[in-house]
A = this chain, B = another copy of it.
Amino acid sequence: MTRRVTSLQVAELAGVSQSAVSRVFSGASASPATVDKVKKAAETLGYRPNVLARAMITGKSRIIGLVVAYLDNQFYPEALERLSNALQEKGYHILIFTVPNATDGVDKVVQDLMDHQVEGIIAASVSMSSSLAETCARAGIPVVLFNRGQPGSGLSSVTSANIKGGRMATQALIDAGHSRIAHIAGWDGSLTGRERREGFEAAMADADMIPFAIVDGMYNRDIAAQSARQLMSGDLRPDAIFVGNDHMAFAVMDAVRGMGFQIPQDVSIIGYDDVPLASWPAYDLTTVRQPVNRMVEATVTTLLSAINDTDPYAETIEIEGPLIQRGSSRPPKGQMQ
């Protein structure tokens, strides 16, 4: 419980003014002699600048607020880890805000964020009311939506190319010769969910095929599993299911196998995200990769440039990822036939 060492004490010991100490630590110009004296004094005293005081004056907290709703989807821990690392490299840190209920809790949380003088906000898979987006804009706090677009909000976003991804997954199913293709979609209240579905519908339409069924899986394991069971219990069953994300796809695979069906012999399953678990043998899930590292890079770049250049333009960045063909779906016909 020793009192913290201040720049004044360092100044005294070094025999210079307090301003000199400040200059040395804030990277302003100072003579080599001064730098030396100050550094030495600081070392013996164990001095480190008070980040809070600096932040208050400069108006730069070097803190980024991260809003997340849930972490159970394996996609997020990975993204969070990479985001934190990338930001730390640039001298920023992440202040975490978990929003209890994904729908409206965000608003309170963002006020809290702004109170903490964050320099920017990353909202992962949560939507913001437009009034809230406006509040942030007015306060000059850039927001980047991660893995969740929100057209018309004026907010920047970084997502994968969801429509294209949905198309690719569906096309792979069509190319494999499937004729009764169902889609357990991501939450219809989210743009990612809608766009992946859109891709599905477009690919089907292009092939002059009628979707076997489209149901909303709500990005929820239980709902997805139940939907799968329902789909598979009729007389006429789908022979392929494109699922809105991997997290649900695992539940779908569990449910389908639990009914005694073989994957992919009885039904092909394709997911979306390519989380680590997708490649583990127990699931071996064919899926559309969301390139987390590139999405993170884009997010950090976008956010930091908005912070530093006070760039007023919202950017909508879509990053394409490949389809990863694995064992949960039949391979395309004609290929290696």
Total identical chains: 2
The answer, yes or no, to whether A50 is at the interface (CB within 8 Å) is: yes
- Of the listed stretches A11-19, A78-86, A162-170, name the one at the interface; the rest are far from the partner chain: A78-86
Query: Is B94 in contact with A96, judged by CB distance below 8 angstroms?
Result: yes
Query: Is B95 in contact with A94, judged by CB distance below 8 angstroms?
Result: yes
A282: min CB distance to chain B, Å: 4
Chain B residues near A94 (CB-CB < 8 A)? 95-96
The answer, yes or no, to whether A258 is at the interface (CB within 8 Å) is: yes
The answer, yes or no, to whether A2 is at the interface (CB within 8 Å) is: yes
Query: Is A95 in contact with B98, judged by CB distance below 8 angstroms?
Result: no
Query: Is A49 in contact with B115, judged by CB distance below 8 angstroms?
Result: yes
Chain B residues near A95 (CB-CB < 8 A)? 63, 93-96
Within 110-131 of A, Cβ neighbours of B (below 8 Å) are at 111-112, 114-117
The 5 A-B pairs with the shortest beta carbon distances in the complex, nearest first, are A71-B77, A1-B140, A282-B282, A77-B77, A84-B98
- Residues of chain A touching chain B, judged by Cβ–Cβ distance below 8 Å, are 1-2, 4, 48-53, 55-56, 61, 63, 66, 68, 70-72, 74, 76-78, 80-81, 84-85, 88, 93-98, 100, 111-112, 114-117, 138-140, 250-251, 253-254, 257-258, 276-277, 280-283, 310
